[in-house]
Structures are given as structure tokens and as C-alpha cells.
């Protein structure tokens, strides 16, 4: 009997907490994994002040976090070789006979379950297991998704406290009706620095059938924080069946004239400006990473799945990121990870204001300026993927709707990648399907110096969601297309490109220009300004941008700037269509025909424009002649 196991293995205080949730399946599940992973102790977190405090303190006591000098700040280190998501060992488990696209990492369910259970047998020996309950999306809402996490890492349990809405009471309320996700994580054996040791046995396995994720022998948040990318993969699958979307998207309020706020979602692959967009200081942030989207009363509504930020810290400085900078220098509860801790208990990271300290402790252990790795490569002061974890309530641009159970109505959706030579800085799709296919499903991003391998290589990343798909691309794209059915009002879909370069390789835009693009998109979403029909979508009129540049960032935007930035690059756009078509023809199983049709129409528009105006088309030509493509 599972309840006997629980009674035997749990102290009576913990057992009683668990009994408050009337759900035999849940009890059975917990009992099964306690028996399997054999922790020495079990702690059930009810979200009470004492329970939360216990987790915060135990992560310092057991050495997974170290107290810094600044109040409420701690630092955590992941193993030197455990600094990012492990794509190779993250797999969607599929039963015999079911296939997904090559671009999605999958494995056979039966064999993989055997393997992971073997890896996790007795994995928590000598450790304490923390059981936590959360709610993805606001509580008491159509969007609410309950999740139960079991982890032997107090750092993981603590991070979740800053990032997710408490759910214990929600589990009590829902009792036997809860359709919850289950995550079992173990950091595995730890080394002398309290980092996961058996990285060769690092695994993240997603079992769609049981709505469950296993994560073993890793600590890095993207592999272990069960409510983030692990639950996201389960949610994409669940949403597909039920007609809602889980997107790798920020949600922000863009402030228009007369106190109007129009909410936007935005999808950007890593290092393409997603966080900096969500933190624009003249707008308000609802979320920076994951959104659920539902159709409610004929409108698209969205919520932030989370309530905190697990953000990249590289490059954060007082000038470019004042909001993040201020939050990181407040007495808010913060967990820094994989940056430098100075001998005085301060912190430093790549491109922080001020001098790089001579020495300290970082993700490589004892560190000093000029330290090299075993291949002779210099070890940077912090890892490029080093992060900070903090609740959103500490940002002064927080939008008041964060916890609204109804979510916010979405007026615009944005897709953006790193693209030096093809897309204009901003454009609007002709309609929903055009936006989903020609922008979202065609998203690519150029690699940067921050990733391994060659720089400037375009990586295909539809909707910036490729790493998290648990359904085929065909189904995912169809779900996005179908989402517009029955809508009374479709959000406008935009594409942005912050990374356009001139022929000498210089960026054509400054960081603050993006503020203008969003103000224009807000006006467009409300049809307050006209636009020019270009072959690739609608582009802004010069007069509108000139006015906005002056008003918003006090900058003269010249006709030359406009012509250079918004000229239609026919050759590059056609080359892009060819690349994307080829991927869908050769690598994706049964891509929907409409995808090919929409891309073909776009190619034809480009070719006919090229015949009239040449390879690079100034927008003034399109405007003057009033060509309607």
C-alpha cells in the first residue's frame, strides 16, 4: 500500500502535510519514487512561510548556494561542464511506431524508461527530497496548470520559489481532479564543490503519456527547473490536444496614445534580444520567456507561465539595462549562478560596469585573471550562459496584470531573429497565415561568438520553439494556423530584426531604436497609421517613423536611414525562402501545403517587384507608385 510507504518513510509532520491533499494517485506516485530513489529524508513544502524559509536556508547549509555580502543574495555553481541545456540527452519518449521530425530529439519509450529508472535507482541516497507544488499561469484561472516537483536539490526548489506561483493550496482545492504534471529530478552524486558529478549519466526524459519528466545528474536550471522548459514540453503536447498554445514568448504592454496599452507577445531565439525587449524602460513587462495563449470570447489572451526571471547576466550594465541593473542591486532575493564571487563576497560578470577583479571563485572553481582551461583557452570571468534568478515583482516596469486570471488580450505578436542582411527592422504580415508561415515558421538566427562553432551561420528555429517541441512540426504549425479560426479579431503579426548590418558589417540600428519599432507596431495594431505594401509584408511610412524617432528617443531619422534600413533586399529574401522551403521539403515530415503556397506567393511577389525595380527596392518606389502586391 502506497500510504504505508509514505507513513513509514516520512516523519509524521511531513506525512500529515501530504495528507491534506486528497489524491490517492498523487500519493501513489510520490511513494513510488521515494521507494525508487531512496532519499534519506523527505520534506513536503506547503508554501507556508516556515517551509519556504527552510528551503532557502537548507540550500545554504548544504552548500548548493553561498551567501554573498549583499542582503538576500546568494550564488550557485553548476559543474564546469553543466552550464547549459543538454540538448543531446534531452529526449521526448515515443512509443513504438510513432515518429517525430529529425529536428526533434526522441527515443523509444520502453527502453528509455528502463534506462532512466536504472540511472535513478537509489540516486537520492543520503539526501533530502523536497516535494513542491506549483501552478503554471495564474491560479484560479482557465490557464492554470498544476505541477508537482520532486527534487533532491534545494537550489532547484529555491529557484522555483522565485520563479513560479505557489500551488500547494491549489492541489488541496483540486484534490482528485487535478490533472497535474509530475517532475522527478535528482542532481545525483555531488563533487566537493557540490556540483553534479556523473555528467555521463545526465538525462532529461519527457514521458508524454504520463505527463511526467525525469531529470538526472544535472543542476543547470534549464535541465532541472521542472516548471520551465521541462513542463513546457508537456504543455505543448497537452495544448495541441485542447486547442491552446504554449509559446517561447515574452509578453509585454506597449503603451500607445491616450493611455492605451496594447499587449504583445514576442518570440526570439537565444541571444536575439528577448529579455532586453521585455525590459524596455518605456513599456511594461508581463513575462520574458514562456506564454500560454488561449482563445477566449473571440480574442487571443495570454498569460506569463512564470512569475520570475531566469535571465542571462552577460552584458547587463547600468547604461543599457537600467531596470535589470537596479533590480540586481536591490535587496531583493536573488540567486546568481555561474558568475564570479570576489573574496569580499561581491560579484562580477562579463561586461558588468567596472574593472574585472583579479581573482575569486567562479564556475571553474578558484579563478584568477588569465586562467586557462585544459585546451589553453582563457576562462572568462563568468560563463556566457551565467544567469540571475529573481521574482518579477522586483522590476519597476512590471505590468499590473501579471496575476490576472483572465490574462491579457493580445493585439500583436512579434517574431525576431539575428539577421545581418535580409529582413527589414520591422514589418507587418498581410494576415495571420502569412505571419505564422513567412515570419514564425521561417525564423532563423545567425550564430554569435557566444555559441560554439562558426559565427554567422543561420540556424532554423521556427517560432524560436524548436528545442521544446514535443509534437511534430506539421502539427505544431497547423495548431498555430488553426488558432486563428473563430477569432473575432486577429492580432497583427510582426517580424523584427535588430541586427541588420551595412555592407561594411556595421549595425544599422542602435539598441534604443527598438523602442520606436514597438510604438509603430502598437499604432499599426490599432490601425492608427497606414503602411506600405512591400512584397514581404507591410512596412512603416517614413513620416511616421521620423515622428516617432523624434518623440520617443529624440533622434533625427533621415530619409537615407529609412531607405537603407527599409529597402527590400530581393535577392536575400529569395535565398531565404529557398533555404526554408528546402528544410520543410527535406527535413520535416509532411509540412502543410499552405506553408509551401504562402512561401511561393511571397517569392512571386518578390520576383515581380524585382522586374520593375531591381534587386534592391527603395520603399519610396513602392510608396510613390502605390503598388499593391
CB of 289 to Mn ion, least distance (A): 4
DSSP string, 99-114: ---TTS-EEEHHHHHH
Nearer to ligand SPV, 464 or 478 (CB): 464
Longest dimension (CA), the chain: 81
The answer to whether residue 247 forms part of the interface with Mn ion (CB under 5 A) is no
- Cα–Cα distances (Å) from 521 to 6, 145, 285, 290, 531, in that order, read 55, 31, 16, 21, 11
Least distance from C-beta 87 to Mn ion, angstroms? 13
- Tell me the sheet residues that pair with 185: 151, 215
Work out what residue 537 binds among Mn ion, ligand SPV, none; the CB cut-off runs from 5 to 8 Å by kind. Answer: none
H or E element that contains 168:
helix 168-174
Q: How far is the CB of 229 from ligand SPV (least distance, A)?
A: 4
Give the per-residue contact string, 285-324, with Mn ion (x = CB under 5 A; - = no).
----x-----------------------------------
Q: CB 312 → ligand SPV: shortest distance, Å? A: 8
| 3-state SS, residue 73 | strand
Provide the 3-class DSSP secondary structure of residue 33: helix
Give the bridge partners for 529, in sequence order. none
Which does residue 228 touch among Mn ion, ligand SPV, none (CB within 5 to 8 A, set by kind)?
A: ligand SPV
Q: Counting contacts by CB under 6 A, is residue 228 touching ligand SPV? A: yes
Q: Taking CA 406 as the corner, what is the angle to CA 404 and CA 407, rounded to the nearest 5 degrees? A: 70
- Shortest Å, Cβ 363 to Mn ion: 20
Q: Which is nearer to ligand SPV, 159 or 174 (CB)?
A: 159
Q: Which is nearer to ligand SPV, 250 or 570 (CB)?
A: 250
- Nearest distance from C-beta of residue 101 to Mn ion, angstroms: 20
Q: Does the protein bind ligand SPV through residue 229 (CB under 6 A)?
A: yes
Tell me the H-state helices in 218-299: 221-224, 231-242, 274-278
Q: Are 582 and 458 in contact (CB under 8 A)?
A: no
Q: Give 336 or 557: the residue with its C-beta nearer to ligand SPV.
A: 336
Under rule CB under 6 A, residue 567 binds ligand SPV? no
- d(CA 292, CA 407) in angstroms, rounded, equals 9
Q: Which helix (H) or strand (E) is 617 found in, with range?
A: strand 616-617
How many residues of this chain interact with ligand SPV, rule: CB under 6 A?
8
Asked if 172 and 187 count as a contact pair (C-beta separation under 8 A), the reply is no
Only one of the segments 3-11, 282-290, 507-515, 579-587 lies at the binding site for Mn ion (rule: CB under 5 A); that segment is 282-290
Cβ proximity to ligand SPV, 273 vs 411, nearer residue: 273
- Residue whose Cβ sits closest to ligand SPV: 222
Of the two residues 29 and 336, which places its CB atom closer to ligand SPV in the complex?
A: 336
Of residues 37, 45, 135, 272, which has the active-site annotation? 272
CB of 505 to ligand SPV, least distance (A): 27
d(C-alpha 319, C-alpha 306), whole Å: 27
Find which of Mn ion, ligand SPV, none residue 221 binds, CB within 5 to 8 Å per kind: ligand SPV
Tell me which of Mn ion, ligand SPV, none is bound by residue 419, counting a contact when its beta carbon lies within the kind-specific cut-off of 5 to 8 angstroms.
none
- Pick from Mn ion, ligand SPV, none: which does 203 bind, CB < 5 to 8 A by kind? none
Which stretch, 21-29, 184-192, 222-230, 398-406, contacts ligand SPV (CB under 6 A)? Answer: 222-230
Nearer residue to ligand SPV within complex by CB, 204 or 523:
204
Contact between 221 and ligand SPV (CB under 6 A)?
yes
Where would I find the beta strands (DSSP E) of 83-161? 90-94, 106-108, 128-136, 145-151
Cα–Cα distance, 428 to 532 (Å, whole number): 10
Residue among 499 and 542 whose Cβ is closer to ligand SPV: 499
Contact 74, 60 (CB under 8 A): yes
Stretch that binds ligand SPV, among 64-72, 220-228, 414-422, 469-477 (CB under 6 A): 220-228
Give 366-382 as a DSSP string: EEETT-B-TTSPBPPSS
- For residue 82, the minimal CB distance to ligand SPV (Å) is 12
With binding defined as CB under 6 A, does residue 307 bind ligand SPV?
A: no
Q: Specify whether 45 is catalytic.
A: no
Residue in the block written with cell 501552478? 135
Tracing cell 563568468 back to the chain, one arrives at 382
3-class state of residue 304 by DSSP: strand
Three cell numbers at 238? 497537452
Nearer to Mn ion, 289 or 513 (CB): 289
Distance CA 305, CA 271 (A): 21
Q: Which residues lie below 8 Å from residue 518, measured CB to CB, with a gap of 6+?
A: 252, 254, 264, 277, 280, 283
Q: Which residues of 420-576 form beta strands (DSSP E)?
A: 426-428, 444-446, 458-460, 492-496, 532-534, 537-539, 568-569
Tell the smallest beta-carbon distance from residue 467 to ligand SPV (Å).
Answer: 7
Q: Where in 71-100 is the site for ligand SPV (CB under 6 A)? A: 85
Binding-site partner at residue 130 among ligand SPV, Mn ion, none, CB < 5 to 8 Å by type: none
Q: What is the DSSP string of 566-612?
A: H-EEHHHHHHHHHHHHHHHHHTSTT--HHHHHHHHHHHHHHHHHHHH
Stretch that binds Mn ion, among 10-18, 135-143, 236-244, 283-291 (CB under 5 A): 283-291
Smallest separation, CB 339 to ligand SPV (Å): 15
Cβ atoms within 10 A of the Cβ of 124, count? 25
Task: Tell me the window of 36-44, 221-229, 449-457, 514-522 that interacts with ligand SPV (CB under 6 A).
Answer: 221-229
Chain position whose Cβ is nearest to Mn ion: 289
Question: Considering beta carbons, is residue 229 or 384 the nearer one to ligand SPV?
Answer: 229
- Cα–Cα distance measured from residue 333 to residue 346, given in angstroms and rounded to the nearest whole number: 15
H or E element that contains 255: strand 249-255
Binding of ligand SPV by 270 (CB under 6 A) = yes
Choose which of 244, 310, 415, 460 interacts with ligand SPV (CB under 6 A).
310
Catalytic residues: 272
**Interface ranges with ligand SPV (CB under 6 A):** 85, 221-222, 228-229, 270, 289, 310
Q: Which residues bind Mn ion (CB under 5 A)?
A: 289
Amino acid at each position: 500500500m502506497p500510504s504505508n510507504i509514505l507513513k513509514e518513510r516520512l516523519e509524521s509532520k511531513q506525512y500529515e502535510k501530504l495528507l491534506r491533499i486528497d489524491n490517492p494517485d498523487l500519493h501513489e506516485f510520490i511513494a513510488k519514487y521515494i521507494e525508487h530513489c531512496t532519499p534519506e529524508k523527505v520534506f513536503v513544502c506547503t508554501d507556508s512561510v516556515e517551509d519556504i524559509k527552510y528551503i532557502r536556508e537548507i540550500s545554504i547549509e548544504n552548500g548548493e548556494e553561498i551567501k554573498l555580502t549583499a542582503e538576500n543574495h546568494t550564488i550557485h555553481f553548476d559543474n564546469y561542464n553543466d552550464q547549459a541545456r543538454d540538448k543531446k540527452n534531452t529526449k521526448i519518449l515515443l512509443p513504438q511506431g510513432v515518429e517525430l521530425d529529425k529536428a526533434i530529439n526522441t527515443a523509444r519509450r520502453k527502453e528509455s524508461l528502463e534506462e532512466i529508472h536504472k540511472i535513478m535507482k537509489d540516486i537520492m541516497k543520503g539526501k533530502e527530497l523536497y516535494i513542491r507544488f506549483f501552478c503554471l499561469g495564474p491560479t484560479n484561472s482557465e490557464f492554470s496548470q498544476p505541477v508537482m516537483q520532486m527534487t533532491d536539490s534545494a537550489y532547484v526548489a529555491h529557484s522555483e520559489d522565485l520563479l513560479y506561483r505557489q500551488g500547494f493550496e491549489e492541489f488541496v482545492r483540486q484534490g482528485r481532479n487535478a490533472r497535474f504534471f509530475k517532475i522527478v529530478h535528482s542532481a545525483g552524486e555531488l563533487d566537493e564543490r557540490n556540483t553534479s558529478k556523473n555528467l555521463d549519466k545526465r538525462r532529461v526524459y519527457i514521458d508524454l503519456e504520463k505527463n511526467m519528466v525525469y531529470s538526472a545528474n544535472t543542476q543547470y536550471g534549464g535541465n532541472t527547473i521542472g516548471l520551465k522548459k521541462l513542463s513546457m514540453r508537456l504543455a505543448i503536447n497537452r495544448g495541441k490536444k485542447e486547442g491552446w498554445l504554449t509559446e517561447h514568448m515574452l509578453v509585454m504592454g506597449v503603451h500607445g496614445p491616450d493611455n492605451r496599452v496594447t499587449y504583445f507577445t514576442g518570440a526570439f531565439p537565444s541571444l536575439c534580444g528577448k529579455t532586453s525587449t521585455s525590459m524596455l524602460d518605456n513599456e511594461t513587462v508581463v513575462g520574458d520567456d514562456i506564454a500560454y495563449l488561449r482563445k477566449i470570447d473571440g480574442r487571443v489572451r495570454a498569460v506569463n507561465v512564470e512569475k520570475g526571471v531566469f535571465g542571462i547576466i552577460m552584458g547587463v550594465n547600468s547604461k543599457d539595462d537600467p531596470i535589470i541593473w537596479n533590480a540586481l542591486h536591490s535587496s531583493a532575493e536573488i540567486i546568481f549562478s555561474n558568475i564570479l564571487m570576489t573574496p569580499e563576497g561581491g560579484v562580477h560578470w562579463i561586461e558588468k560596469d567596472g574593472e574585472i577583479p583579479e581573482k575569486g571563485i567562479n564556475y571553474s572553481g578558484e579563478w584568477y585573471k588569465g586562467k586557462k582551461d585544459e585546451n589553453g583557452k582563457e576562462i572568462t570571468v563568468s560563463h556566457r550562459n551565467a544567469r540571475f534568478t529573481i521574482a518579477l515583482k522586483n522590476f519597476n516596469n512590471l505590468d499590473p496584470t501579471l496575476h490576472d486570471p483572465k490574462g491579457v488580450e493580445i493585439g500583436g505578436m512579434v517574431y525576431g531573429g539575428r539577421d545581418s542582411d535580409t529582413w527589414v527592422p520591422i514589418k507587418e504580415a498581410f494576415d495571420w497565415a502569412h505571419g505564422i508561415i513567412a515570419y514564425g515558421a521561417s525564423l532563423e538566427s545567425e550564430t554569435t561568438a557566444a555559441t560554439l562553432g562558426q559565427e554567422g551561420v543561420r540556424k532554423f528555429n521556427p517560432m524560436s520553439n524548436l528545442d521544446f517541441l514535443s509534437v511534430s512540426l506539421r502539427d505544431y504549425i497547423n495548431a498555430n494556423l488553426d488558432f486563428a479560426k473563430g477569432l473575432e479579431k486577429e492580432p497583427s503579426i510582426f517580424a523584427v530584426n535588430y541586427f541588420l548590418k551595412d555592407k561594411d558589417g556595421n549595425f544599422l540600428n542602435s539598441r534604443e531604436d527598438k523602442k520606436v519599432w514597438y510604438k509603430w507596431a502598437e499604432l499599426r495594431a490599432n490601425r492608427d497609421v497606414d503602411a506600405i505594401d512591400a512584397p514581404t509584408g507591410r512596412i512603416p511610412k517614413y513620416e511616421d517613423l521620423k515622428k516617432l524617432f523624434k518623440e520617443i528617443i529624440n533622434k533625427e531619422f533621415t530619409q537615407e536611414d529609412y531607405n537603407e534600413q527599409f529597402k527590400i533586399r530581393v535577392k536575400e529574401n529569395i535565398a531565404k525562402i529557398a533555404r526554408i522551403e528546402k528544410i520543410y521539403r527535406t527535413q520535416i515530415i509532411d509540412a502543410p501545403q499552405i506553408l509551401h503556397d504562402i512561401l511561393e506567393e511571397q517569392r512571386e511577389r518578390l520576383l515581380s517587384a524585382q522586374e520593375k525595380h531591381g534587386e534592391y527596392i527603395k520603399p519610396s518606389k513602392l510608396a510613390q507608385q502605390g503598388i499593391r502586391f
